[in-house]
Amino acid sequence: MNIILLGPPGAGKGTQAQKLVDGRNMVQLSTGDMLRDAKTSGTEMGNMVAAVMDRGDLVTDEIVIGLIREKLEAGGDHGGFIFDGFPRTLAQADALGDLMSEMGQSIDHAIELQVNDDILVERILGRAADAVAAGGTARADDNEESLKTRLMAYYKQTSPLLGYYYAKGDLTGVDGLGTMDDVASEIAGVLG
């Protein structure tokens, strides 16, 4: 089974993906994590994406699709892929469809985690404050200014994907406002 987790920043995509990895032997493909790894690697690509990510804009389709292609080509024996934070544009969604077809596979579910903006802001700024309180540093894009840009990018570039997957009959909305376990149970109900 292959699934996509859709939703704005702070909706719980990373959190729920981890729960699915633990419970179903699925593989999490988080483009956010891949790009953060690239940022710290000091490579030319890492340096290129750092400023874009830190201000909250989307990295180019070409780079992100290249990262996903590499992971899919690596293969492996598992219960399916969880796409976390990918696709984020219509071009990425088309590319994912093509990659899946090349592999003789398809997307089984696109799950939209629904959370209102004031809660998203609270969660993300809360995560930043927790990181600092624990003696670490907050994620470079977990601040009010970048968050505004991230939310704008979501509504402008990513939210059209809801219609895209709805038209394919793959979309299910899930209330993302409950506890992490409540949301996980609702997702389990969708996946069966």
Please identify the residue of the shown chain whose CB is closest to the bound ligand B4P.
Answer: 32
> Phi and psi dihedrals of 163, rounded to 5?
-65, -35
13 is catalytic: yes
Q: How far is the CB of 77 from ligand B4P (least distance, A)?
A: 26
Of residues 112 through 131, those in contact with ligand B4P by CB under 6 A are 123-124, 127
In angstroms, the CA 41 to CA 169 distance is 39
User: Any residues with CB less than 8 A from the CB of 44 and at least 6 apart, and which?
Assistant: none
> Which one of the spans 6-14, 19-27, 94-102, 167-175 is the region binding ligand B4P (CB under 6 A)?
6-14
3-state DSSP: the chain helix, strand, coil percent, rounded to 5?
60, 10, 30
Work out whether 39 is an interface residue with ligand B4P (CB under 6 A): no
In angstroms, the CA 125 to CA 147 distance is 9
Residues 6, 11, 96, 161: which binds ligand B4P (CB under 6 A)? 11
127 is catalytic: yes
| CB distance 4 to 111 below 8 Å | yes
Q: At which residue do the structure tokens 């509504």 appear? A: 155
Give the angle subtended at the CA of 70 by the CAs of 27 and 103, to the nearest 5°: 70
Work out whether 183 is an interface residue with ligand B4P (CB under 6 A): yes
123 is catalytic: no
Residue 12 annotated as binding site:
yes
Residues 64-93, one symbol each (x = binds ligand B4P by CB under 6 A, - = not), give: x--------------------xx-x---x-
Work out whether 32 is an interface residue with ligand B4P (CB under 6 A): yes
Strand pairing of 81-84 and 171-175?
unpaired
- The token pair at 103 is 């592999």
Known binding-site positions for ATP:
10-15, 127, 178
Binding site for ligand B4P (CB under 6 A): 9-15, 31-32, 35, 52-53, 56-59, 64, 85-86, 88, 92, 123-124, 127, 141, 150, 179-180, 183
